[in-house]
């Protein structure tokens, strides 16, 4: 594990903020462009104890399944995102380092406020911790893994059809 310099810290944060904005605004095509071909998108239930091959997850998409998810959203007839939720999320407490394989690991806390305007017309609050595994590519990054540990993961969850 090694440190990264101030300049790269800023670059990675900017990348993360962009990713959050694209997800918030349902700009799925652009969001997809940030993903590596071997991307894993994981929203587990039982945190650090979770075994992804035994414990069921809320989301555990390989790149192919994630592509299906995006295609489904883009049809415009996925009722749970038609109309799309209005979302804004904040990410902070970001710590970044480089792991022994040369990947950039960025972790932080987040909270997303979602106006669920498909049915309940209620505000849903989604706090948690996010962890990105990023590969440096072409002066920027691609997301190899996005892992989201929701505060309420082990409790009852409303529909979560957007990109958390």
Partner 1 sequence: MRDTTTPDIGSLIKDETIHSSLYTDRDIFELECEKIFEGNWVYVAHESELPRNGDYLRRTMGTTPILVTKSAKGIHVVVNRCTHRGNLLCPAPRGRQKAFGCKYHGWVFGPDGELVDIPFPDGSENLDKSKLGLRAARVESYRGFIFASLNHDVDDLITYLGNARQALDRASDLSPVGEIQLSKTWVQHSFKANWKMISENEADGYHVNFVHDSFGKAITPEGKYDNVLKEDEEGIGSVSRYLGNGHTEIDYEVSYGAPMKWLGVKEDRYPEYTAAMKERYGEQEANTIMRKGPPHTFIFPNLFLAETCFVVIQPISVNESINWHTPLYLKGVPDKLNQRILRQGEPAMGPSAFLTADDAVIAERQWGALDGDPGWLDLSRGADREVQKDNGVLQSHYTDETSNRGFWNHYKSVFQ
Interface positions with partner 1 (CB under 8 A): 43, 45-46, 50, 53-61, 65, 68-69, 71-73, 75-80, 118-120, 155-161
Give the C-alpha separation, 111 to 51, whole Å.
25
Q: Which residues pair with 109 in a beta bridge?
A: 92, 129
Least distance in angstroms from the C-beta of 126 to partner 1: 11
Give the C-alpha separation, 124 to 89, whole Å.
12
Residue 14 or 46 having the CB closest to partner 1: 46
Least distance in angstroms from the C-beta of 146 to partner 1: 13
Give the C-alpha separation, 26 to 158, whole Å.
19
Least distance in angstroms from the C-beta of 40 to partner 1: 13
Residue 78 or 129 having the CB closest to partner 1: 78
Residue 14 or 120 having the CB closest to partner 1: 120
Q: Considering only CA atoms, give the Rg of the chain.
A: 16
Give the C-alpha separation, 69 to 43, whole Å.
14
Residue 41 or 132 having the CB closest to partner 1: 41
Give the C-alpha separation, 36 to 135, whole Å.
8
Q: What is the DSSP letter of 62?
A: -
Least distance in angstroms from the C-beta of 76 to partner 1: 8
């Amino acid at each position: 594990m090694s440190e990264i310099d101030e300049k790269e810290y800023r670059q990675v944060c900017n990348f993360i903020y962009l990713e959050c904005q694209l997800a918030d605004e349902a700009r799925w095509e652009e969001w997809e462009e940030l993903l590596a071909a071997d991307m894993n998108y994981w929203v587990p239930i039982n945190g650090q104890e979770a075994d992804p091959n035994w414990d069921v997850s809320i989301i555990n998409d390989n790149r192919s399944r994630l592509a299906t998810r995006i295609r489904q959203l883009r049809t415009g007839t996925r009722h749970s995102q038609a109309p799309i939720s209005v979302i804004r999320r904040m990410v902070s407490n970001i710590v970044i380092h480089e792991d022994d394989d040369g990947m950039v690991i960025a972790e932080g806390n987040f909270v997303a406020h979602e106006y669920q305007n498909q049915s309940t017309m209620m505000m849903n609050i989604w706090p948690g911790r996010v962890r990105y595994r990023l590969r440096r590519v072409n002066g920027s990054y691609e997301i190899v893994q996005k892992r989201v540990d929701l505060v309420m993961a082990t409790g009852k969850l409303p529909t979560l059809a957007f990109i958390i």
